[in-house]
Amino acid sequence: MLKKMIVLVVSSLTCLNVNAWDNRVAGYISSFEVHSPSSSKRHVTIALKDNATLCTLPSNNQTAYLIKSDSPETFEVFISTLLTAKTADKQVKLYINHGEEGCRIDRVNLL
């Protein structure tokens, strides 16, 4: 009985980290758009070159967004990292989840 419980706990803990992100995608930024709060809830949207699908949503999946209220402590760092990648033509790796407005960027790595 104890062996079964240990196996169950270990397998449960292992499964927790398997799908932490809806998608992880790397590429070069093709577009960087800043939106007015009156026109969109999404403050910034980006698209990657040669990567049409950024998350597994059936639609609205060709761009990924940032909203300041989703990550107020790191919003400026996200913007700075993405702009650096765009202007220096460096690759980024985006960690994306489903959000209220489509594909939400939750983490960025500058490659």
Half-sphere exposure of 70 (CA within 13 A, CB side): 19
CA dihedral (74, 80, 83, 85) positive or negative: negative
pLDDT digits (tens, 9 = 90+) for 101-110: 899 999 999 9
Per-residue DSSP letter, 43? S
According to DSSP, the β-strands at 29-34 and 44-48 are antiparallel
All structural domains of the chain? 20-110 (2.40.50)
Smallest Cα–Cα separation from 94: which of 77, 106, 85, 83? 106
For 80, phi and psi rounded to 5 degrees? Answer: -60, -45
pLDDT digits (tens, 9 = 90+) for 41-81: 899 999 999 876 899 999 889 999 999 999 899 999 999 99
